[in-house]
Amino acid sequence: MSKPEKYILAIDLGTSGPKSALVSTRGQIIADAFVENDLYLSDGGGAEQDPAQWWESIIETCRAVLAEKRVPPDQIAAICCSSQWSGTVAVDAQGQPLMNALIWLDSRGSPYVHEIIGGPLKIQGYSPGKILKWIRLTGGAPSHSGKDSIAHILYIKNQLPDIYRQAYKFLEPKDYINLCLTGIFAASWDSITLHWVTDNRDINRIVYDDRLIRLSTIAREKFPDLVPPASVLGPLKKEIADELGLSRDVVVISGTTDIQAAAVGSGAVADFAAHLYIGTSSWLTCHVPFKKTHLSRNIASLPSAIPGRYFVANEQESAGVCLRFLRDTILFSNDGLTDAPAPDDFYARVDRLAAGAEPGSGGLLFLPWLYGERTPVDDHLIRGGFVNLSLDTTRAQLVRAVLEGVALNSRWLLYAVEKFTRRRIDPIRMIGGGALSDTWCRIHADVLDRPIEKVKDPLLANVRGAGLLGAAVMGHTSFDKIGGSVEIDAVFVPEPSNRQLYDTLFREFRATYKRIRKTCARLNTR
């Protein structure tokens, strides 16, 4: 008789909230649940979330998934987590959060990053000696934007010194969740990267570097111990196993960040196989067989969640959130003037409306930089908007322009990645909430001039990736097999007749950034 199939309880903490799912070792989603969380934005670039709410919501979603009783508890072998990256949770020695988490959107640490990266002589804002050291050892460097984890800690150190002194460790969101699950203070080689304090030259042995620690000005003891990616972190706490009705033999996998979990969940795990994620933010990434850095485009190959591998990291700050902004601020503000439709109905209407507008939106450009940008330009002061509005502009053109603006920024990412890899990236898999829209998939195919492969169940790519990662660690599958286990739902081929149009819009899109960046810097510098 064959052995019963094993399952992974996968957790993905996104900006909008956590999603939990039961994932088979072949990548099938058996059950899933989601709970929305609050986001607190403040003047000066603040962006925070409540770690206690994260944990309560994670327990709630895990209970909901397990309550469906699709799988006997003794067939659940492990828990594996992915989460939003570039966030910071300050915890005391008992593992309790000392304040809200500073998430990837928070840029308040920018002035303090400039202090540690600068010097009497600067190249693109960096002291030559410092930037050479960072690039040689880590593959990248702290970004000017102040949105890296190191910047968050510097903000706390300078603005909240009491919290800094009380903090036992500063943890990434994924590593905080693992602490809640196991009681172990640890970070994996991939999740620690954006602290820029590890020597990444040997992909099979990543360690803290004393020289980089000194450059950071952060005390060494504030950083967690390191564990390899794709490894067993430890056993699940007995009280949590009992609370969820799981076996006490369940182990917790070290897990990974959302970008890397998405790569696994999209099936794009081979070198140069790319995936495009469109969620609150967006990214275009692929694995590469080399360590390399392109400073001016803010792109580097960094340690992957897959052992022994590097991946290209680049991210667009505002993607799906642009649609939410359009809905909540422009079309249906909660001010008594209009009543907003339910979210699902709204996005269905957007899809139909945008599909009915002509490609190019009548020359209307939407700039999606609503909260600064990270790549391919590192600019936390840039802001977005509509360009070339006229009295002839229709609502359908406004809506389609938002979709096209995000796609044009995706093309900018693709341009940078292809320059970095020195090869054409073709085709591109698409996941995330944006992939639910066939119209947006078609727009991306036309704007990027690449076939777009829409992954089945694109909203579940991160939990699928966490599940498959856990299955590989437990020996139930291999990374070589993952690419073939992820199904493609549809393929969108570029329309040749739209090529010239989108080439023109892309040139104007990039030129517009160059024209407005100094204006935005003046308006947004305080």
Contact 13, 82 (CB under 8 A): yes
Residue 123, SS3 per DSSP: strand
Tell whether 152 is covered by a domain. no
**For every residue of 288-325, which 3-state class applies, written as one string?**
ECCCCEECCCCEEEEECCCCCCEEEECEECCCHHHHHH
Q: Which residue, 102, 77, 60, is CA-closest to 22?
A: 77
Domain extent for 170 = 7-106+161-254
Q: Sign of the C-alpha dihedral, residues 512, 451, 494, 360?
A: negative
Residue 485, SS3 per DSSP: helix
Contacts of 279 by beta carbon, 8 Å cutoff, 6+ apart? 14, 15, 319, 320, 432, 433, 434
The count of other CB atoms within 10 Å of the CB of residue 351 is: 17
Angle at 479 between CA 87 and CA 290, to 5 degrees: 70
Residue 145, SS3 per DSSP: coil
pLDDT of residue 82: 97
Rounded mean pLDDT for each run of 10 residues along the chain, 526 residues in total: 82 95 94 96 94 98 96 96 97 98 95 94 90 93 92 98 98 98 98 96 96 97 97 97 96 96 95 94 92 82 94 87 86 61 79 93 96 83 95 93 96 94 96 95 98 96 96 93 91 97 98 95 86
Tell whether 472 is covered by a domain. no
pLDDT of residue 337: 47
Angle at 121 between CA 117 and CA 124, to 5 degrees: 60
The count of other CB atoms within 10 Å of the CB of residue 41 is: 11
pLDDT of residue 7: 97
The total of structural domains in the chain comes to 1
Alpha-carbon gap, residue 287 to 272, rounded angstroms: 6
Six token digits for residue 9: 């309880």
Strands 452-455, 428-431: pairing kind: parallel
Q: pTM for the complete prediction?
A: 0.88
Six token digits for residue 277: 């994620």
Alpha-carbon gap, residue 239 to 244, rounded angstroms: 9
Please write the tens of the pLDDT for every residue from 411-458: 999 999 999 999 999 999 999 999 999 999 999 999 999 999 999 999
Tell whether 236 is covered by a domain. yes
Alpha-carbon gap, residue 379 to 144, rounded angstroms: 7
pLDDT of residue 459: 92
Q: Which residue, 262, 382, 370, 367, is CA-closest to 317?
A: 370
For residue 191, with 0-12 CB atoms within 10 Å meaning exposed, 13-18 middle and 19 or more buried, which class applies? buried
Contact 134, 169 (CB under 8 A): no
Alpha-carbon gap, residue 10 to 207, rounded angstroms: 27
Tell whether 469 is covered by a domain. no
pLDDT of residue 330: 82
Tell whether 376 is covered by a domain. no
> The domain that contains 239 carries what CATH number?
3.30.420.40
Contacts of 451 by beta carbon, 8 Å cutoff, 6+ apart? 426, 427, 428, 445, 491, 492, 493, 494
Contacts of 515 by beta carbon, 8 Å cutoff, 6+ apart? none
Tell whether 35 is covered by a domain. yes
Contacts of 400 by beta carbon, 8 Å cutoff, 6+ apart? 353, 354, 357, 361, 443
pLDDT of residue 338: 58
Tell whether 25 is covered by a domain. yes
Alpha-carbon gap, residue 209 to 494, rounded angstroms: 47
Tell whether 356 is covered by a domain. no
Beta-bridge mates of residue 491: 453
